[in-house]
Amino acid sequence: PEFHGNPNFASCLLPDHLISMAELDLLTQNVVCAHSETCQFLQENLQVIRWETFSQSEVHGFQQKPMDHMWERCVCHITNAIQQIVEFAKRLNGFMELNPNDQIVLLKAGAMELLLLRMSRAFNCYNNTIFFEGKYAPLDLFQSLGCNDLISAMFDLCHSLCAVNLSEYEMAFYSAMILLDPTQPWLQEKEKVQSLHVKLDVAFRNLLRRTHRESILGKLPQRGRLLSICQVHMEKLKVFRQMYPGMAWERFPPLYRELFV
């Protein structure tokens, strides 16, 4: 009873380090702030326009656009979203202290996966539409891109994620843990990433315990499913580059080109 409420005694014993409750709280605050400051669209704002969908003739208008034009437009939006994901990474405690090589390794591997997670926030699973240029768009609006299979895999993933109904806290932790993945090959200081990952894991589990949400861990989509979508994205990009050698690729933003060469 003497020790009750003393954060130093309420710490969790781990192989190499002790994490106090105070440290867990700070970490939670950090991860959640990093997410909310970089998530572009607040959940409550998206909620307000959730039912504003493009009309049939607007959809038709998008479908008439040339393939390279639609690609350029989508790639531009994706790049802006990834810029925010880079910003998210930079705000996570410890990320900027990794060496620059490892920062790039993690972002190259994780940026698209994080975008897929964020996509589920902007998805209306009741009518299968996704937020795009101010309104909600159905799958066939993107027809002229020539990758319906990819986009429908993305929509399916959104469905699975929506079913879990992640809170912004959970989304923040899940994103941070996917990004700080110590198993990425080519990391030079694996142990540093490992130690950040362990702390996140403890903090995430602690949050889930307190909110009685441990059951979501079994419901989150398999990592392989995210990876396979990223793979297909790369393949589609390759096909597109072959169709429009030179010029279209050069008009893509440098950040996108750097991450997806």
Return residues touching ligand CLR (CB under 6 A): 40-41, 74, 77-78, 81, 118-119, 122, 130-132, 142, 145, 147, 150-151, 154, 233, 236
Residues in the chain: 261
Residue 112 CA to residue 114 CA, distance in Å, equals: 5
Q: Which residue number, 131 or 174, has a Cβ lying nearer to ligand CLR?
A: 131
Q: Residue type for 184, please?
A: Q
CB of 242 to ligand CLR, least distance (A): 15
CB of 68 to ligand CLR, least distance (A): 12
State the burial class of residue 173 (Cβ atoms within 10 Å of its Cβ: 0-12, 13-18, 19+). Answer: buried
Q: Which residue number, 52 or 214, has a Cβ lying nearer to ligand CLR?
A: 52
CB of 150 to ligand CLR, least distance (A): 6
CB of 180 to ligand CLR, least distance (A): 20
| Counts of helices then strands in the chain (DSSP H, E) | 11, 5
Q: Which residue number, 28 or 129, has a Cβ lying nearer to ligand CLR?
A: 129
Q: Which residue number, 219 or 238, has a Cβ lying nearer to ligand CLR?
A: 238
State the burial class of residue 139 (Cβ atoms within 10 Å of its Cβ: 0-12, 13-18, 19+). Answer: middle
Nearest CA to 114 out of 34, 53, 22, 13 is that of 34
